[in-house]
Structure 1
Amino acid sequence: MTRVVHKFGGSSLSSASRYQAVAQIILGHCKSGDCVVVSAAGKTTNTLVKLWQSYQQQDQQAFSDVLIQLEKHQSELVDELFSGDVHRALKAQLDAELVAITQLAQQSELQESPLLAHGELWSARLLAHYLNELKVAARSIDARQLFTLHDAQLLHQQNKATCYAQLQDAVVYVVTGFIAQDCDKNTVTLGRNGSDYSATLLASYIDASAVSIWTDTQGVYSTDPRKVSNALKYPKVCRAQANLLARLGNPVLHAKTLSPLKGSNIKLQVRSSYEPEASPTEIVKEGYSKAKRFITTFENLDLVRVENLAKGEVRTLSQLIQHSIHHFIVNGEAYLLLPATFTHIVAQQLAGRINIVESNLQGCALVASSSELSGLKQQAEQLFHDREVVVRFAHQDSDYALFLTDQALDSDLLAVLHDKLINKGREIAVIIAGIGNVGDVFLQQCEQQITRLQSQFDLKVVGLLRSKEMVFSPSGIELSAWQTQWKNEAQSYNSKSLVEHISELDYEHKVVIDITASEAFSLLYPDFVASDCHLISANKYAGTADRGWYQSLREQQRERNLHWRYNTSVGAGLPINFALADLQNSGDVITSIEGVFSGTLSWLCSSFTADQKFSDLVLAAQEMGYTEPDPREDLSGRDMQRKLLILARDLGLELDVDDIALEPLMPVHLAEGSWDDFLAKRDELDTFYAVKYQQADDEGKSLRYTGQLIISDSGTVTAKVGIAFAEAGSAIANLTPGDNIFVIKSVWYEQNPLVIQGPGAGKEVTAAGIHSDLYWLTQQLK
């Protein structure tokens, strides 16, 4: 059967209310056969260590005081969680164990590892009993029954067989973390915070599908989110970096945790037991996540140099002090970074082979990819210098740099370091669909735009799409040579493979830029949103889709806090959407929008004179590339109709395209048949237009093709697109051929309307408008 291992740390079990919260998580996330690995509750392990130290120092009063502290905490948990027979039985069992500890101490037979094991035993017992109280079949398991070591090496094959044999019932198993046994049945601990290791070991032994490490943070952050409010939570972190962070003392994951997963497909997640619905951080295999940037801080460390450090000796020392130890080599000499409180223990163990280089150190480690580490290290050194922070020791390895200082890095300094070194590197993956006329110009402009944005974001174009071919490179496409890369690497794709590629992208932000005119591509927007992509559209189809589909898409975006910019879907590069949003956000109320929203129809109507045939003008526009391949698509007015609908929805109006009356700029029957059929009847178009033109001229007006949206005081909406006679001298009558114009009336602009006019088509202005949307998006994300 497919099983999952869940691990809960001490902070997740620090009080009765936390036990109750963890039980609710188990109810929601576990099924029979799953395993729950637990640490000692709260600071219980620290208290047990103090008890052991008191015993070693033969300080009977301290021993008694600490034992009372232990008894008080455990009794409070039992009292708050249980009543009746279960309460009495658990209290009696706890009392018996505390008496036994006291007797062993009095007889000088107390041993460290069995003593420290009590914390996990108590946690497993209480949680299993509490789950039973909730009618969940649960059983506590002492991991010493499952994990055996010989000469400090785990007997993996034997342990796997034992786990399979003992964990077969239809219950939730609550397993103690941190402890195991040797072949002589002696208790062995797996290192301080070894419960993570226990969880991944167990997962490997039972062939679990996944491990969830539940802790007091939502995942793995770029730095401590309690110290830096804008710390980044990473959705994915590669195992190598997670392991490095653990060796450097980052508390989210601990040393050795990842080793049992090597070569496996077991999924590892870090999740919050305080906010269980929050998205986790997934720890993934190499190649499934790019290197991230981290700052992890140190406090009260000693730096020591060790002569003739033997293989495996660091592991032995870590076991001795129950704490991970980071070590590194400089010029052939071995250095250890130790918690200052344990230096004397390590010094005794190494017997004269240790030299203290620096003591009482604070500072941080900067973790990043090898390609960018040197530059980041130089920036960090400059920041320390500017703020007069004395760096007593610095060391750079392939993927991290150490800075050991006299003073602790306060939250203000850490925030500055983070903003300069980490946030600066926030990455945006860009997928560009449609690299034809406008797309080609957009790509030409991209290099300069990316340079402008580089101080705030690391923006990478990772995908280029045209028709059914694409180039996809998660690490980024070299824009100066994209045509060559396209020629050499373009491959066919379908919708499913495209969405899969995008969903696997490991970036803080993703944006799909749609420069196509494809309705089929716009139907993929919900899939892009489900993959946490922002959208930038020149494509009008999504914005004018069926109202139910459109509103569902909008709701998805709101739920995921995603942005959708589409300024170029109406008016090319003109800031009409910005203007409407700004007016409404400032408290104004729009009462009408009228104008010419088609560069093609603007050019045709404004260029026409009575001494020519309208069909000749249409054919000339077609020849110059001003129209669609079949100009009847422009003359139908459907493009203007869709644009007016987009503007209406920007005003919050719940309209569909059929709610907008449509009058084509040609006889309706000419839309039927082929283009050749149309050409054979072009004189009917000429007659139709000449009549309309003469009617306008007789009234002293100009023939134009406009869209109009009127909102009455009562809220009634009138929307139409069609032929209009513009008053002589008006902005619409005097429109420059090819321009778009928007005449906006509102409460504030009633007598003197706000007019926005400019090119309504063109590769350069449209591409620039898309870049404007991209810039706006980065500012919102910043």
Structure 2
Amino acid sequence: MRVLKFGGSSVANADNIKKVAAIISHAKEGKKIIVVSAMSGVTNQLLHIGNTAAKADESYKTILQDLLNHHLNEAKKLLPVTTQSACLSSIMQLFNEIEEIAESVCHLKEFSPATKDRILSFGEILSSKIISAHFYSIGLKHVWMDTRELILTNSKFGAAEVKFAETNKLIKEKITHSEDDIFLAPGFIASNKRNQVTTLGRGGSDYTAAIFAAATNAELLEIWTDVSGMMTADPRWVSNAKPIPFISFKEAMELSHFGAKVIYPPTIIPAMQAGIPIKIKNTFSPNDEGTYISEQIEGEHADIVTGISSITEIALLSLEGSGMVGVPGISKVLFEALATAQINVVLITQSSSEHSICVAINANELERAKEVLDATFKNDIEAKRVEPIKEEKNLSIIALVGDKMKSHPGISGKMFSVLGRNGINVRAIAQGSSEKNISAVIAFDDVKKAVNVLHEAFFEKVYKQLNLFIVGTGNVGSRLIEQLKHQSDYLLKNLNIQLRVAGMANSRKMLFSDNGGIHLDSWKEDLNNGSKFEFEKFIQEIINSNLRNSVVVDVTANKNMAENYHLLLEKSIAVVACNKIACSSSFEYYKKLKLLSKEFNAPFFFETNVGAGLPIIGTLNDLLRSGDEIVKMQAVLSGTLNFVFNNYDGKKTFAKVVKQAQDEGYTEPDPRLDLGGTDVMRKIMILAREAGNEINMEDIANEQFLPASCFEGNVEDFYKELALNEDHFKKLYQEASDKNCKLKYVATFAEGKANVGLQAVNEQSDFYHLYGKDNIVLFFTKRYPDQPLVIKGAGAGAEVTASGVFADLIKAVS
């Protein structure tokens, strides 16, 4: 004996019912009981009819007529014209009964639980009658059974409790005394001892199938639905969710209780008690293996974590107070009050100090639960033995499930570490002594992100998804995008990192992608067709998207962007900044960003602030972390100035050399930031701060080599002044040349003080043999007192700067 249950989606229409018939026809020989649900959506429509009629709103008649037409049309599609009459007549008769009930509800303006069960029962009766007629039309011999005559319950309408002794006896007698091999029955419905129709609650058709299986000691219970088994997570939220091939009864119970909709929790109990395995199969992909549920899964099939599930729309109620400490019976009073009010407690936590008890309930029961507890503890609250009941809304529960978690330490630690790294705050935690389930209450807005990061951590061994939001698509930004495109396959293959550009913006346009990310082959065109860039909307969209492993990459010189990094870090969104403004702003803001990065576990990297792609800040931090101390730093930190003075020899005007540097992308948009020393001041200040010093721009001495007139007007005026002061620049060059020296713009930090300025250096200097756009940094430390640690290389240029940003990106998710 096998029992096969087909859900609402499996019998939703004529085409699907034909698939059901094909599955049964091709099933192996032996007795079979087929249990079917109502057509998809019909139960809700019947409920809508009853509720509408109870308001004396006669529009229920229109809904009823539409529902009748739907059933008639599907029956006509299924049946040959010559055999339609009996079935269509039966449908009409059943709808006449529904209409009579609805009219009574409309006149009385009352929709009682008993009447509700009766009207809802027609969904399964209708679908099973139509399916039965189709089976006869294709020669599939069977017996239609009225489940109301076989399953007996109490009178708890809406969620009736089965009387198993009487039920099992009736089912055995019906099956045993029949020579037929196929039995077809409507699910969900039953009756009480007064022959009133009752229903078995949400997912009752699954439960019906399990009852039949247990009563007949079936060899297998098959649940046919629209997915290929239970999944490691909700596939609507996790694109990489995988079917679970094998799972134990208890694991399935945990997952189904915590929101896995594939199987109704009570279904498992009769099958588990009778030792009958359950198979979850896909009606629309019948060859898929599906999920096999049995007593215990051992060996190669037993994963440490089996699946991740969640319950949305949860609320927390907290009872706290010093008057609870050491007082027996407080918990009893709390739970008795909720139980009397028929309020189900989903999760419980209690502090070891006995100072507080926290319970999670369904959000739609919050108001009633609060009223009940306020009344129950009124005297204690007034006497200030306990505080007023606290409530929290807009929450969800996320659960990690697996039989083998109890034998593997560190699972809960990994779970909460992953949630913490992604800025997901845990409000309450519950873990039973069996350690089959670790549950956490989190914000409703975080549940999709939480499921994804946990699935990535426990199931996706292939890669970790990195969601990028790139601000700035100029020289550096466009090079970075090209590098991302070129290296994406390498990162996936060698570092298990999947790059996904989720958003992009420049000064004019912004673009976001909800699914697979922005296509890097067509990003320019797509961005141009994007929406108008608005800074506040751009930041808010990043925050609202709430994607896992999010990194904002700022390759602009935008002051507004830099001044709002804190909004991102506070949401545990990593920031990689090429933009120097944030780290060279006030020391208070710099310190705030560093603290936020640490507090919210959001990486904040800005290596390219100092030396483009050179590992200067990283090396400095490594020295400090290893216990070394910085004594002095000397550096040539401007690739622009080094390029200019390496190419200026008095033959070509100074203005033309500067313009060349700008044209080749070495300067800031306003070259005066470079030539005036501002950029170098920022860089040495950032290094000094990273070395642990409190320093601001006004603390740095700047010996200007540009005439004051060069700083007046706009950039065009600047170039004119450079040309007018050519003699000044020739003199600087000649004086250095006469001493066999070269001009270098040097930054120094020592003994808490910093200065920058143009120097003539001789050939003994480390700065003398510095060519092109190269930078150099000398770290004099306790370990390197005489011979400094030297970092030297290209310190400017879009390509190397982009590579430095790229390196920071990889660090952000490592």
TM-score (norm 1): 0.52
Match of 2:742 in 1: 702
Does the CA contact (< 8 Å) of 2:470 and 2:554 recur in 1? yes
1:449 partnered with 2:487: yes
1:149 partnered with 2:113: yes
Cα distance in 1 for residues equivalent to 2:717 and 2:518: 46
How big is the shift at 1:435? 0.9
> Which residue identity does 1:355 align to in structure 2?
A
How big is the shift at 1:466? 0.7
Cα distance in 2 for residues equivalent to 1:425 and 1:313: 47
- Residue-pair matches, total: 459
Which residue of the other structure, out of 303, 312, 315, is the alignment partner of 1:413?
303
Which residue of the other structure, out of 430, 438, 453, is the alignment partner of 2:468?
430
Match of 1:738 in 2: 773
Match of 2:253 in 1: none
Does the CA contact (< 8 Å) of 1:604 and 1:617 recur in 2? yes
Q: How does 1:151-300 map to 2 (within 5 A)?
A: 151=115, 153=117
CA pair 624-509 structure 1, distance change in 2 beyond 3 A:
closer
Does the CA contact (< 8 Å) of 2:188 and 2:200 recur in 1? no
Which residue of the other structure, out of 690, 696, 702, is the alignment partner of 1:662?
702
Q: How does 1:479-518 map to 2 (within 5 A)?
A: 479-488=520-529, 490-518=530-558
Q: How does 1:72-151 map to 2 (within 5 A)?
A: 149-151=113-115
CA pair 460-767 structure 1, distance change in 2 beyond 3 A:
same
CA pair 618-415 structure 1, distance change in 2 beyond 3 A:
same
Cα distance in 2 for residues equivalent to 1:435 and 1:558: 29
Report the 3-state secondary structure (helix = DSSP H, G, I; strand = E; otherwise coil) of the residue aligned with 2:713.
coil
1:454-509 CA distance string (max 9 Å, x none):
36344321111010310111222122222232233x11132221222112214222
CA pair 380-312 structure 1, distance change in 2 beyond 3 A:
closer
CA pair 613-482 structure 1, distance change in 2 beyond 3 A:
closer
Does the CA contact (< 8 Å) of 1:536 and 1:770 recur in 2? yes
1:20-79 CA distance string (max 9 Å, x none):
xxxxxxxxxxxxxxxxxxxxxxxxxxxxxxxxxxxxxxxxxxxxxxxxxxxxxxxxxxxx
Does the CA contact (< 8 Å) of 2:744 and 2:760 recur in 1? yes
Cα distance in 2 for residues equivalent to 1:154 and 1:326: 14
> Which residue identity does 2:733 align to in structure 1?
Y
1:234-279 CA distance string (max 9 Å, x none):
xxxxxxxxxxxxxxxxxxxxxxxxxxxxxxxxxxxxxxxxxxxxxx
Larger Rg: 2
How big is the shift at 1:772? 0.7
Match of 2:518 in 1: 477
CA pair 380-693 structure 1, distance change in 2 beyond 3 A:
farther
CA pair 729-326 structure 1, distance change in 2 beyond 3 A:
farther
How big is the shift at 1:441? 1.4
Cα distance in 2 for residues equivalent to 1:662 and 1:190: 81
Report the 3-state secondary structure (helix = DSSP H, G, I; strand = E; otherwise coil) of the residue aligned with 1:705.
strand
1:366 partnered with 2:236: no
1:689 partnered with 2:729: yes
Cα distance in 2 for residues equivalent to 1:370 and 1:409: 29
How big is the shift at 1:434? 0.3
Which residue of the other structure, out of 271, 274, 291, is the alignment partner of 1:402?
291
How big is the shift at 1:447? 2.5
Cα distance in 1 for residues equivalent to 2:637 and 2:723: 27
CA pair 440-327 structure 1, distance change in 2 beyond 3 A:
farther
Match of 1:467 in 2: 507
1:308-360 CA distance string (max 9 Å, x none):
241434999xx9999986977xxxxx995x6xxxx68x734xxx5x733179x
How big is the shift at 1:602? 0.8
Report the 3-state secondary structure (helix = DSSP H, G, I; strand = E; otherwise coil) of the residue aligned with 2:184.
coil
Does the CA contact (< 8 Å) of 1:443 and 1:479 recur in 2? yes
Cα distance in 2 for residues equivalent to 1:664 and 1:379: 72
1:579-609 CA distance string (max 9 Å, x none):
1111111111111221111111011112222
How big is the shift at 1:377? 4.5
CA pair 637-398 structure 1, distance change in 2 beyond 3 A:
farther
Does the CA contact (< 8 Å) of 1:621 and 1:627 recur in 2? yes
How much identity, in percent, do the aligned residues show? Answer: 27
Cα distance in 2 for residues equivalent to 1:461 and 1:397: 37
Does the CA contact (< 8 Å) of 2:189 and 2:200 recur in 1? no
1:649 partnered with 2:689: yes
Report the 3-state secondary structure (helix = DSSP H, G, I; strand = E; otherwise coil) of the residue aligned with 1:730.
coil
1:55-109 CA distance string (max 9 Å, x none):
xxxxxxxxxxxxxxxxxxxxxxxxxxxxxxxxxxxxxxxxxxxxxxxxxxxxxxx
CA pair 327-446 structure 1, distance change in 2 beyond 3 A:
farther
Match of 1:70 in 2: none
Match of 1:254 in 2: none
Match of 2:263 in 1: none
CA pair 520-375 structure 1, distance change in 2 beyond 3 A:
closer
Match of 1:626 in 2: 666
1:711-749 CA distance string (max 9 Å, x none):
x3xxxx010111123231322111011111111111111
Cα distance in 2 for residues equivalent to 1:306 and 1:631: 86
CA pair 325-414 structure 1, distance change in 2 beyond 3 A:
farther
Report the 3-state secondary structure (helix = DSSP H, G, I; strand = E; otherwise coil) of the residue aligned with 2:580.
coil
CA pair 309-154 structure 1, distance change in 2 beyond 3 A:
closer
CA pair 497-320 structure 1, distance change in 2 beyond 3 A:
same
Cα distance in 1 for residues equivalent to 2:618 and 2:190: 61
Match of 2:335 in 1: none
> Which residue identity does 1:347 align to in structure 2?
A
CA pair 450-153 structure 1, distance change in 2 beyond 3 A:
farther
Does the CA contact (< 8 Å) of 1:426 and 1:508 recur in 2? no
1:620-662 CA distance string (max 9 Å, x none):
3334443344432321110111111111121121111211112
Does the CA contact (< 8 Å) of 1:380 and 1:421 recur in 2? no
Match of 2:760 in 1: 725
Cα distance in 2 for residues equivalent to 1:454 and 1:398: 33
1:368-390 CA distance string (max 9 Å, x none):
53798799459999xxxxxxxxx
Match of 1:248 in 2: none
1:105-133 CA distance string (max 9 Å, x none):
xxxxxxxxxxxxxxxxxxxxxxxxxxxxx
How big is the shift at 1:681? 3.6
CA pair 504-680 structure 1, distance change in 2 beyond 3 A:
closer
> Which residue identity does 1:482 align to in structure 2?
W
Does the CA contact (< 8 Å) of 2:189 and 2:198 recur in 1? no
Cα distance in 2 for residues equivalent to 1:315 and 1:504: 49
Report the 3-state secondary structure (helix = DSSP H, G, I; strand = E; otherwise coil) of the residue aligned with 1:355.
coil
Match of 1:761 in 2: 796
TM-score (norm 2): 0.50
Cα distance in 2 for residues equivalent to 1:541 and 1:449: 29
Q: How does 1:335-350 map to 2 (within 5 A)?
A: 347-348=214-215
How big is the shift at 1:692? 3.0
CA pair 549-326 structure 1, distance change in 2 beyond 3 A:
farther
Cα distance in 2 for residues equivalent to 1:487 and 1:689: 43
Match of 1:566 in 2: 606
1:312 partnered with 2:188: yes
Does the CA contact (< 8 Å) of 1:365 and 1:403 recur in 2? no
1:585 partnered with 2:448: no
Cα distance in 2 for residues equivalent to 1:623 and 1:507: 38
Match of 1:211 in 2: none
How big is the shift at 1:398? 8.2
Match of 2:595 in 1: 555
Does the CA contact (< 8 Å) of 1:392 and 1:405 recur in 2? yes
Does the CA contact (< 8 Å) of 2:662 and 2:671 recur in 1? yes
Does the CA contact (< 8 Å) of 2:232 and 2:244 recur in 1? no
Report the 3-state secondary structure (helix = DSSP H, G, I; strand = E; otherwise coil) of the residue aligned with 1:347.
helix
Match of 1:601 in 2: 641
> Which residue identity does 1:150 align to in structure 2?
A
> Which residue identity does 2:708 align to in structure 1?
V
Report the 3-state secondary structure (helix = DSSP H, G, I; strand = E; otherwise coil) of the residue aligned with 2:583.
helix
